[in-house]
Amino acid sequence: MAPRKKTEATFEENLASLEALVQSLEEGALSLSDSLKTYEEGMKLAALLNAELSRAETRMKEIAGGAVVPMEDAP
C-alpha cells in the first residue's frame, strides 16, 4: 500500500468532516449559497468515503479468498 500523503486526510478525518457538514446543514443557519457549497463539499466527501470503503471491501475479499463472512458468522 502506498504511503498516505501528509496533506491527505484519513478516512476517519474525512468522516468527521462530513458529519460536521451535515450538522451545519441540519442547523439551518447557513445562507442558501453557503448551504449549496456545504452540500457540494459533503457530496464530494461522501463519494470519497464510499470509494475508500469499496476498496477496503475488495481488499477484504482478496484476503478471504473471495468470500467475506458476515460478522454474525465470524468465529
Selection from 36, 54, 32 nearest residue 44 by Cα: 36
pLDDT digits (tens, 9 = 90+) for 42-64: 999 999 999 999 999 888 888 88
Spatial separation of the C-alpha atoms in residues 8 and 18, rounded to whole Å: 15
| pTM, 2 dp | 0.74
DSSP secondary structure string, 35-51?
HHHHHHHHHHHHHHHHH
Residue 36: predicted pLDDT? 98
